[in-house]
């Protein structure tokens, strides 16, 4: 019998080679899936980290703006020799110590520098690159007697992206760009980019590029005086030292006289009989010495409108502003 020569193939039972190939393919797919998930999670973590950093920078800018507006509205001056200048802002700090410097004559030593965080009592605010915030101030709102009167008609000179009436601008400088080799230091151009560091009163914001990574937030005149106006109206309404019988402002007048006064129709500060709409008759009212000093020095009396709606109802507002306030709830009540 002739035997067939050749190499024989051993056939395993139940198709084992095919099954082993399937297992290997499944393992490969699993590995690829896990690798894809790893890359996806890594990308998500990077994105989340970047978002968190941007949010931290944004929060620092907003906190700085709130501190500046609060400082402007809460300025108390040093009565009696130095009246309050509500609406004014501190000079930029000259370095990282965060202290607003003394004036150079009647001007700030600089109108762009570090945010005066220590003067504002808010701590050293930093951006996501660990840099302290910077700050530009409109000279018209500097906290100096020569700047008075300071009120909502004051025109600040700063502009951001061409928009006027900017009281201050806060900057998060970010990481240093090419050519910004002077950090740490105090040179503006080593921190702020492009026209933000050229020393004029025009500033810009925009997306980050290879030559610009400033984050910028404006403090507008409306931001400041929206709050300051309410302080003015609060002083006018009443500055009560005794809740049951207020002796200041319109509420004090009503408590003592049984009704609110007539309006000032000829701008002399005194009530004119029979006149119900005009200016506030502030000379007929009582105010603390400090309130009287700063309201007078900053020409607020000219800007407060007044309407006697009824013996026990009056309305006050800031001319040209949306800040209004009804003065009602008389105590003691009108007859």
Output the DSSP codes for 75-91.
Answer: ---BTTTB---TT-BPP
More confident of the two residues 125 and 242: 125
Residues 128 and 244 in one domain: no
Among 174, 194, 220, the domain boundary falls at 220
pLDDT tops 60 at residue 262: yes
**pLDDT 10s digits, 152-208:** 999 999 999 999 999 999 999 999 999 999 999 999 999 999 999 998 999 999 999
Residues 194 and 158 in one domain: yes
CA 88 – CA 260 distance, rounded (Å):
32
Q: What percent of the chain has pLDDT over 90?
A: 64
The whole-number pLDDT of residue 329 equals: 59
Closest-CA residue to 219 (of 147, 163, 174, 173) = 163
Main-chain phi, psi angles of 283, to 5 degrees: -70, -20
Range of the domain at 242: 238-327
More confident of the two residues 210 and 15: 210
The whole-number pLDDT of residue 35 equals: 66
Residues 54 and 189 in one domain: yes
E strands in 119-237: 134-137, 158-160, 163-172, 202-203, 215-220
Residues 69 and 206 in one domain: yes
Q: What is the pLDDT averaged over residues 49-60?
A: 70
The whole-number pLDDT of residue 1 equals: 47
Residues 196 and 251 in one domain: no
221-237 helix and 16-74 helix, angle to the nearest 10 degrees: 50
**pLDDT grade for 81, boundaries at 50, 70 and 90:** confident
E strands in the chain: 112-114, 134-137, 158-160, 163-172, 202-203, 215-220, 277-279, 304-310, 313-318, 324-327
Among 165-174, 211-220, 247-256, the range scoring the smallest mean pLDDT is 247-256
What is the bridge-based pairing of β-strands 158-160 and 202-203? parallel
CA 28 – CA 51 distance, rounded (Å):
34
DSSP states along 289-333: HHHHHHHHHTT-GGGEEEEEEETTEEEEEETTSS-EEEE---SSP
Work out the mean pLDDT of the chain and round it to a whole number.
86
Whether 247 is in a domain gets the answer: yes
The whole-number pLDDT of residue 42 equals: 59
The whole-number pLDDT of residue 174 equals: 95
When divided into structural domains, the chain yields a total of 2
| Residue 285 · residue 250 · CB < 8 Å | yes
Whether 2 is in a domain gets the answer: no
Among 171, 194, 220, the domain boundary falls at 220
Residues 69 and 124 in one domain: yes
Whether 1 is in a domain gets the answer: no
19 prior amide bond cis, ω within 30: no
Strand partners, 202: 159
Residues 60 and 208 in one domain: yes
More confident of the two residues 67 and 29: 67
Q: What is the pLDDT averaged over residues 301-325?
A: 88
Q: If 0-12 CB within 10 Å is exposed, 13-18 middle and 19+ buried, where does residue 282 land?
A: buried
The whole-number pLDDT of residue 167 equals: 98
Whether 22 is in a domain gets the answer: no
The whole-number pLDDT of residue 323 equals: 72
CA 305 – CA 318 distance, rounded (Å):
6
Residues 169 and 265 in one domain: no
The whole-number pLDDT of residue 335 equals: 57
| Residue 192 · residue 214 · CB < 8 Å | yes
The whole-number pLDDT of residue 38 equals: 66
The whole-number pLDDT of residue 49 equals: 41
Whether 245 is in a domain gets the answer: yes
**pLDDT 10s digits, 89-136:** 999 999 999 999 999 999 999 999 999 999 999 999 999 999 999 999
The whole-number pLDDT of residue 9 equals: 44
- The alpha carbon dihedral of 73, 202, 59, 101 has a sign of negative
Closest-CA residue to 139 (of 199, 195, 68, 88) = 88
**pLDDT grade for 37, boundaries at 50, 70 and 90:** low
Among 220, 251, 281, the domain boundary falls at 220
Residues 119 and 56 in one domain: yes
Whether 30 is in a domain gets the answer: no
The whole-number pLDDT of residue 163 equals: 96
pLDDT tops 90 at residue 246: no
Q: What is the pLDDT averaged over residues 226-236?
A: 93
Residues 70 and 150 in one domain: yes
**pLDDT 10s digits, 271-305:** 999 999 999 999 999 998 888 999 999 999 999 99
Q: What is the pLDDT averaged over residues 207-214?
A: 94
The whole-number pLDDT of residue 118 equals: 97
CA 41 – CA 176 distance, rounded (Å):
29
Residues 80 and 109 in one domain: yes
Whether 312 is in a domain gets the answer: yes
CA 308 – CA 108 distance, rounded (Å):
43
**pLDDT 10s digits, 7-35:** 444 454 555 666 666 667 677 677 767 66
Residues 170 and 244 in one domain: no
- Straight-line distance from the first to the last Cα atom of the chain, in angstroms, rounded to the nearest whole number: 140
Whether 55 is in a domain gets the answer: yes
Q: Which residue has the tokens 């200016």?
A: 279
């Amino acid at each position: 019998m002739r035997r067939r020569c050749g190499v024989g193939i051993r056939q395993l039972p139940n198709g084992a080679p095919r099954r082993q190939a399937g297992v290997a393919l499944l393992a490969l797919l699993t590995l690829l899936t896990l690798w894809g998930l790893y890359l996806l999670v890594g990308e998500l973590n990077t994105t989340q980290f970047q978002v968190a950093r941007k949010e931290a920078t944004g929060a620092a800018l907003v906190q700085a703006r709130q501190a500046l507006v609060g400082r402007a509205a809460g300025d108390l001056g040093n009565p009696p020799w130095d009246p309050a200048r509500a609406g004014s802002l501190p000079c930029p700090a000259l370095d990282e110590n965060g202290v607003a410097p003394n004036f150079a004559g009647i001007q700030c030593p600089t109108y762009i520098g570090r945010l005066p965080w220590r003067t504002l009592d808010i701590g050293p605010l930093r951006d996501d690159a660990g840099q302290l915030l910077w700050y530009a101030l409109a000279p018209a709102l500097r906290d100096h007697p020569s700047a008075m009167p300071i009120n909502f008609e004051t025109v600040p000179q700063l502009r951001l992206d061409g928009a006027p009436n900017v009281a201050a601008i806060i900057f998060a400088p970010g990481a240093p760009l090419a050519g910004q080799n002077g950090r740490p230091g105090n040179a503006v151009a080593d921190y702020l980019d492009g026209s933000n560091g050229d020393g004029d009163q025009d500033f810009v914001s925009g997306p980050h590029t290879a030559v610009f990574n400033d984050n910028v937030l404006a403090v507008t005149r409306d931001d400041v005086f929206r709050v300051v106006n309410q302080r003015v109206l609060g002083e006018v309404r009443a500055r009560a030292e005794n809740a049951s019988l207020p002796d200041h402002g319109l509420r004090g007048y009503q408590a003592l006289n049984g009704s609110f006064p007539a309006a000032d129709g000829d701008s002399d500060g005194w009530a004119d009989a029979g006149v119900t709409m005009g200016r506030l008759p502030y000379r007929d009212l009582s105010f603390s010495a400090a309130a009287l000093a700063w309201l007078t020095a900053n020409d607020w009396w000219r800007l407060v409108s007044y309407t006697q709606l009824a013996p026990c109802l009056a309305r006050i507002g800031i001319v040209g502003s949306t800040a209004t306030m009804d003065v009602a709830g008389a105590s003691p009540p009108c007859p």
